């Protein structure tokens, strides 16, 4: 078994290539939109969600030929949300993945359409070729992704986030927000990867619990990094949350307790994988990666 | 057979109810987002695309129990595009379907998320229950809707539209824009409705041609109305295109020739239905409606 670093780099190269293949070429009309879609989606990011898709697929014996398309669909939903989230009407951010954000590099109207078209492309990919044992399973996968992206998932989480600025949220409310904003798509990544293979109910329940733990851990660590890491390391503007007076795990718990909570969530994530044996090793390593990352 | 007016009113009532059922209740969190989604999607519009779904389904013997969900999905894609298109970064419009636009009634961030979440909901509906003879057909339906919505369909058409402001487009370029911006989703409405039933290749080809004709006719008439009808009748700001110095069929051809072109496209649409007999009567009437409408 290759080490985690080599494995994740392999996945990242693969997802980059698959995305490059699915995104329309920049020389096909409308050129500027296609150029901006490629600018937004290619050449950056940790690709945490694709890594989760690949790792979950190992548990259920799914082939990378299927997983790579599911990973691309999930990543495109994530990228579209970043593009819209960075716009002036939302977080108004100028830097993403170390580059100017799409509305800065292009313009606001293009950023709006880039996000819209990336979401469509995600569903085009997820319905465009056989990715599961049968078409019925694949339809349920599309439904899961749509739910995770929509108003009771990611988009809903962003609405709650917007409404929370300057408000004294308690820990339960903060968790409710993040379960939607970040957690829903991370959960979908794990479950969709697993659904590309042969998945039984017990495994699905274990993976679901794993996904919920690392979804929250991911956000807790994000808050710690936003408070402590420099912008150059993050590739996005640091200290944003405090500047916006947004409630975070750090503002509610303090940095020390937030770091402790991340470790507890990792332990819980690891525990949920106990029954899955060796094929779950990448998911274990990913839980470590999510908690130990510095960017 | 009921007359067209009674039939279309029946469809409109049905689609309103189905949309109301699919849209999350306004008292479920995030409340403001759900309230705004309902504000955007309910209580208005000609529902031309749902009517096309229902009418095309009559040709292939599809039941309304299936068609109504497909109609809802297509209409939600249309509504999301209106919400985003009205935003300040795009057309910056304050009036839609006789009401303040979503970003005016709520705020820009909410309008952005409303559009995003309505698109997700469309795909959730289209993958959420059996709507075709088998799951494989239904997956292809989801793929068709995604393509029609995306950068090589509707979103791409809006990008071309934006790039065209103040530019001297010729007729071929104008048609290229509208085939994307309006035509793709109208074509998808017809084909998706038909795919809910039993569709053979000859019928599909005839419907495809019909859809392309009325898609263009719809836009030609839109341009005539924008130039000639009062705002109160349209329910949206009239005279926008001329004010924005946008090329239209009226600016390129003059109003008289534009009206003639719409009639020619209707004749072509009717002709393509010749072999389909009585079940295509609603589609014939819809071609009349599209060309003769005054709003």
Q: What's the rounded mean pLDDT across residues B254-276?
A: 96
Place of tokens 């609405």: A159
**Is the predicted pLDDT of residue B232 greater than 70, yes or no?**
no
Pairing of strands B99-100, A99-100: unpaired
Q: What is the mean pLDDT of each run of 10 residues along chain A (295 residues)?
A: 92 98 97 98 93 98 97 98 97 92 97 98 97 97 98 96 85 92 97 97 98 96 86 67 79 94 97 97 97 86
Instruction: Mention every residue, 6+ apart, whose C-beta is less than 8 A from residue A156.
Output: A150, A180, B29, B30, B33, B117
- Supply the pLDDT for residue A47: 96
Judged by DSSP in three states, A204 sits in helix
Q: Spell out the domain ranges in chain A.
A: 4-288
| Interchain contact, B113 vs A153, CB within 8 Å | no
- Supply the pLDDT for residue B166: 78
- Supply the pLDDT for residue B234: 63
Instruction: Mention every residue, 6+ apart, whose C-beta is less than 8 A from residue A13.
Output: none
Least Cα separation, residue A288 to chain B (angstroms) = 32
Chain A with chain B: Cβ pairs closer than 8 A:
172
- Supply the pLDDT for residue B202: 97
User: Can you identify the CATH homologous superfamily of domain A4-288?
Assistant: Farnesyl Diphosphate Synthase (1.10.600.10)
Which of B111, B124, B138 lies nearest to residue A146, judging by beta carbons? B124
Which one of B148, B155, B161 makes the best mutation probe of the A interface by having the most chain A beta carbons within 10 Å?
A: B155
**Is the predicted pLDDT of residue B20 greater than 90, yes or no?**
yes
| Interchain contact, A127 vs B110, CB within 8 Å | no
| Interchain contact, B150 vs A124, CB within 8 Å | yes
Which of B89, B134, B151 lies nearest to residue A112, judging by beta carbons? B89
Pick the CATH number of B4-292 from 3.90.25.10, 3.40.50.300, 1.10.600.10, 1.10.3720.10: 1.10.600.10
| Interchain contact, B151 vs A34, CB within 8 Å | yes
ipTM of the assembly? Answer: 0.95
Model-level pTM greater than 0.90?
yes
| Interchain contact, A140 vs B127, CB within 8 Å | yes
| Interchain contact, A29 vs B143, CB within 8 Å | no
- Supply the pLDDT for residue A233: 65
């Amino acid at each position: 078994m290759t080490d985690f670093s080599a494995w994740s780099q392999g996945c990242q190269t693969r997802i980059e290539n698959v995305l490059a293949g699915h995104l329309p070429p920049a020389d096909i009309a409308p050129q500027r939109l296609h150029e901006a879609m490629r600018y937004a989606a290619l050449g950056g990011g940790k690709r945490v969600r694709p890594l989760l898709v690949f790792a979950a697929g190992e548990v259920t014996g799914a082939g990378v030929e299927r997983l790579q398309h599911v990973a691309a669909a999930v990543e495109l939903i994530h990228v579209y949300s970043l593009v819209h989230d960075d716009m002036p009407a939302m977080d108004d951010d100028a830097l993403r993945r170390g580059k100017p954000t799409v509305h800065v590099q292009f313009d606001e109207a293009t950023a709006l359409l880039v996000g819209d078209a990336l979401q469509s492309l995600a569903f085009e990919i997820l319905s465009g070729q056989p990715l599961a044992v049968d078409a019925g399973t694949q339809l349920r996968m599309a439904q899961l992704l749509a739910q995770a992206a929509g108003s009771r998932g990611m988009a809903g989480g962003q609405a709650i986030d917007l409404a929370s600025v300057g408000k004294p949220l308690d820990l339960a409310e903060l968790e409710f927000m993040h379960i939607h904003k970040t957690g829903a798509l991370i959960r979908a990544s794990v479950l969709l990867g697993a659904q590309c293979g042969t998945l039984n109910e017990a495994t699905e329940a274990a993976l679901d619990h794993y996904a919920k733990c690392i979804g929250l851990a991911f956000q807790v660590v994000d808050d710690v990094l936003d408070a402590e890491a420099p912008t150059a390391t993050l590739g996005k503007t640091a200290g944003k949350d405090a500047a916006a007076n947004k409630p975070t795990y750090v503002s509610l718990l303090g940095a020390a307790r937030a770091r402790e909570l991340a470790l507890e969530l990792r332990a819980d994530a690891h525990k949920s994988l106990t029954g899955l044996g060796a094929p779950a090793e990448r998911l274990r390593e990913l839980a470590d990666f999510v908690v130990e990352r510095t960017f």
